[in-house]
Structure 1
Amino acid sequence: MLRSYFADMHIHIGKDIFDKPVKITASKSLTITNILKESSRNKGINLIGVIDCQSPAVQLELQQLIEKGEAYELGDGGIRFEEVTLLLGSEIEVYDENCQGPIHVLCFLPGLKEMALFSEWLVSKMKNITLSSQRYYGSAKELQYKVKELSGIFIPAHVFTPYKSLYGKGVHQSLTEVFDGDLIDGIELGLSSDTLMADQISELHAYTYVTNSDAHSLAKIGREYQEILMEEPSFKEFNYALHNIDGRKIVRNYGMNPQLGKYHRTVCDNCSAYMNPASTECEQCKSHKVVKGVADRIEELADNQQLLNNRPPYLYQVPLEYLPKLGPKTFKKLLDSFQTEMNIIHHVPYESLVKVVPEPIARSIMQMREGKLSIIAGGGGKYGSVSSS
């Protein structure tokens, strides 16, 4: 029987079991154990992808959880911990002779055995596999072939961000300049784009879109996510959903309005002033350092103006922490009363919310649920902001 599950497939690890850094820019509280607990107990996320599992120390911590009886591997792939299933992933930076610039990709493997084999292979192609998002020395297609040899899933990450992404700087015009399109299982949109924007590029019509948090802290888990129709949260079922097999599919993408993303508009990299995308010099400070916004880059690549009819709806949401005047104490009251963020965001009625939090906050939650929050656009590495109308 198919059911709906929430999934966030791009979560980083801040430090490993030996207190060593994994993603240097991520919070130290982002251990694999803390991620599992936060996702299961507070977020209400059913399926997560942790994309630093190529690190042997991360694999060791997972093995210890299994040995203590706190987690177990599923026959269909993934590791179950309480109410959440973890898929083992790795974010890798590709920059071969065909790339215009570096590209980040997500590689998911069924279990610890396959991930250990992947790590062993990466040792000769990466300077330090203990760290996140490291440069891979080899061709993009060779990496795809290895992932498929290990029965894995291959997804280009945050494909429009100006830095280290497929369309940001990775290719001139087409993904086929670098990748074998038949070996791509999905496309991660990233925080500054949505389905309508991405579907302006016709070569993406063949792929399922995923929306993920790229979390660098526990609070950011579930910043973007999707609702997936599956029999259960597992590697095999997620793979089926990406390819719409036997009714499995993504039924809704939940993401921030693209204007909230850090790179939505073209700005000056020196003073952060908004710029005309055709300009080469900032009118404010005369700098020639320009960060092209996602919307402007997509306009350059666009060759199609119609949204595909079979796309799931893309619903604008923000994390609860983005809401005006919702501080840590009020947030805790909400969780104490309604268990998980997913429950608060999707299910708790207004009448119940106002019994726990002030009316303006309850109203903001309802406005968020209905996509009616006012937006101030972000750009140049600075997030946008929201306000209740």
Structure 2
Amino acid sequence: MLSVYTADLHIHIGRDMYHKPVKITASNNLTLPAILKEATRNKGIDMIGIVDCQAPAVLQELKQLIYQGIATELEEGGVRFESVTLLLGSEIEVYDERCQGPVHVLCYFPGIHEMELFSDWLSKRMKNISLSSQRFYGTAIELQRKVKELQGVFIPAHIFTPFKSLYGKGVLQSLTEILSPDLIDGVELGLSSDTYMADQIKELHGFTYLTNSDAHSLRKIAREYQHLQMKHPSFKEFQYVLNNKNGRHVKENYGMNPKLGKYYRTVCSQCLSQLKRDDSICPNCHSRKYVKGVADRIAALKDTDKGNVARPGYTYQVPLEYLPGLGKKTYEKLLKEFGTEMYIIHQASYEELANVVQNSIAQSIIDMRHGKLHVHEGGGGKYGSIK
């Protein structure tokens, strides 16, 4: 019997069990125990991917939770904590001689044993195995082959972001310039793109699309996610989903309107004024430096108007923290009343919401659910906003 489960598969660790940094730009409160509790008790999601599990201290803490009986390693891969399954992942930066620039990729493994083998292998090809998203000294295809040797999953991360991504920095036209397509299990779209934008590139039609939060704080968990149709949350079932095997598949992607992403539009890197696609000089400050927007990069790569007809739907959502007037106290009040953020965003009626918060906020949540909110576009590292 197949059911639908919610998954956010790109979450970082801010600090390890010794209070040392893992993802330097992430919140100090983003610890392994805090992530597990937030995911299951507040967010109401079923599967998470923690992408800094190659760090020895993170592995040590995970094993400690299992030894204490707080978590359990699953036969089909993954680690169970209360009602959430954790997939062990690693985000790595690749920049070999074939790359035009650095590229981030995500590697996931069935269990602790495979991740320990991978961590040991990486430590001989990386300067600091304890930090997140570090440079891998080897070729992209060498990394792909090692992941497959350890029965892992290989996914290019936030593929259009202007910095450190496959199309944003790594290649001129095609992913085949640096990667073997046969060793790719899926691709992650990133906050500034969606299914419809990505499907304008024909070589992506054969891959499963993932939409993840890339969370650097607890509040950012599940700002993007997907519904997966599978038997139960495990690594093996996740592999089936990526390959559309035995009825398993991505049922729906849920992500922010790409215009809310911080790299949607091309902007001047000096004053952040938005530029037209053919602008070579900023009309505001006359600088020639700019940050290429995802929308413009995809337009330059576009080679088809026909999308993958079998592709699941992409539903726009706005994280509650983006809604004007919805502060921390209101957020906590909603959680206390409804239990999880998933219920608030997708299920609570206007009448239910209006009994807890101001009518204007209740209406904003309903309007957000139906894509009726006006969005001011983001770019150059600055998120878009809701008006």
Structure 1 segment 304-383 matched on structure 2, within 5 A: 304-383=304-383
Task: Please report how far the alpha carbon of residue 307 of structure 1 lies from its aligned counterpart in structure 2 after TM superposition.
Answer: 2.1
Aligned partners of 1:243 and 1:92: how far apart in 2? 23
Worse overlay, 30-39 or 303-312: 303-312
- For 2:284, the equivalent position in structure 1 comes to 284
Aligned partners of 1:151 and 1:285: how far apart in 2? 52
- For 1:270, the equivalent position in structure 2 comes to 270
Aligned partners of 1:302 and 1:333: how far apart in 2? 45
SS at match of 1:122: helix
Aligned partners of 2:375 and 2:366: how far apart in 1? 16
Task: Please report how far the alpha carbon of residue 276 of structure 1 lies from its aligned counterpart in structure 2 after TM superposition.
Answer: 2.0
1:119-156 CA-partner distances (Å, limit 9, x unpaired): 00001100001000000000000000000000000000
Does residue 157 (structure 1) correspond to residue 157 (structure 2)? The answer is yes
Aligned partners of 2:3 and 2:369: how far apart in 1? 21
Task: Please report how far the alpha carbon of residue 70 of structure 1 lies from its aligned counterpart in structure 2 after TM superposition.
Answer: 0.6
Contact 2:191 2:261 in 1 (8 A): yes
- For 1:184, the equivalent position in structure 2 comes to 184
Structure 1 segment 231-250 matched on structure 2, within 5 A: 231-250=231-250
SS at match of 2:86: strand
Aligned partners of 2:99 and 2:279: how far apart in 1? 25
Aligned partners of 1:24 and 1:280: how far apart in 2? 34
Structure 1 segment 1-389 matched on structure 2, within 5 A: 1-387=1-387
Worse overlay, 281-290 or 183-192: 281-290
What amino acid maps onto 1:223 in structure 2?
R
Contact 2:263 2:382 in 1 (8 A): yes
Aligned partners of 1:235 and 1:17: how far apart in 2? 25
Aligned partners of 2:229 and 2:295: how far apart in 1? 30
1:25-76 CA-partner distances (Å, limit 9, x unpaired): 0000000111000000000010000000000000011011111111000000
Aligned partners of 1:14 and 1:183: how far apart in 2? 30
Aligned partners of 1:19 and 1:157: how far apart in 2? 27
Aligned partners of 1:99 and 1:7: how far apart in 2? 31
1:322-378 CA-partner distances (Å, limit 9, x unpaired): 111111111111100110001111122222111111111111111111111111100
1:185-215 CA-partner distances (Å, limit 9, x unpaired): 0010000000000000000001000000000
What amino acid maps onto 1:96 in structure 2?
D
Contact 2:205 2:307 in 1 (8 A): no
5+ long unaligned stretches in structure 1: none
What amino acid maps onto 1:171 in structure 2?
V
Aligned partners of 1:66 and 1:330: how far apart in 2? 35
What amino acid maps onto 1:119 in structure 2?
S
What amino acid maps onto 1:154 in structure 2?
F
1:280-324 CA-partner distances (Å, limit 9, x unpaired): 321221222111110000011000112221111100001111111
1:141-181 CA-partner distances (Å, limit 9, x unpaired): 00000000000000000000000000001000000000000
SS at match of 2:285: coil
Aligned partners of 1:284 and 1:362: how far apart in 2? 39
SS at match of 1:88: strand
Aligned partners of 1:355 and 1:306: how far apart in 2? 45
TM-score normalised by structure 1 residue count? 0.99
SS at match of 1:143: helix
SS at match of 1:54: coil
Aligned partners of 2:319 and 2:265: how far apart in 1? 21
Aligned partners of 2:384 and 2:108: how far apart in 1? 31
SS at match of 1:113: helix
What amino acid maps onto 1:67 in structure 2?
Y
Runs of 4+ in structure 1 off by over 4 angstroms are none
What amino acid maps onto 1:184 in structure 2?
I
Aligned partners of 1:289 and 1:50: how far apart in 2? 35
How many residues align? The count is 387
Aligned partners of 1:141 and 1:76: how far apart in 2? 27
Task: Please report how far the alpha carbon of residue 278 of structure 1 lies from its aligned counterpart in structure 2 after TM superposition.
Answer: 2.5
What amino acid maps onto 2:177 in structure 1?
E
Task: Please report how far the alpha carbon of residue 277 of structure 1 lies from its aligned counterpart in structure 2 after TM superposition.
Answer: 2.5
Aligned partners of 2:281 and 2:158: how far apart in 1? 27
